[in-house]
Amino acid sequence: MPKELKQGDTVNAIFRRYGNHHITGIVNEVSHNQHGLDGYWVSIKVKEFKDKQDSFYHTFKNLVDTGTYNVLCPIADVWKDGDVQ
């Protein structure tokens, strides 16, 4: 695996659906060539949107606050604190 990520790690990521959304969350799963997607992908439970003015933050705020909003990001867009993006 290109990066040392495991379930439960706290990470930063860029979720690129309908724009670039910078998030912080917890790794649920790291998968390779699964879910109909090629390459390495990381399932992340979103804990925070970095930009509170982000349109996704306002749309999904309730789900983020209850810890029930998950996103799937390519591993290249995911990093731990201290890692270089």
pLDDT single digits (tens) 47-64: 988 887 777 777 777 787
Total-model pTM: 0.82
Do 37 and 55 meet the contact criterion of CB atoms below 8 Å apart? no
**How far is it, in rounded angstroms, from Cα 61 to Cα 79?**
23
What are 19-46's pLDDT values in tens digits? 888 999 999 999 999 878 899 999 999 9
Tell how strand 78-79 and strand 70-74 pair up: unpaired
Q: Round to the nearest angstrom and report the end-to-end CA distance of the chain.
A: 17
The domain spans of the chain are 10-79
For residue 40, give Cα distances in angstroms to 1, 50, 74: 8, 24, 6
DSSP 8-state secondary structure symbol assigned to residue 1: -
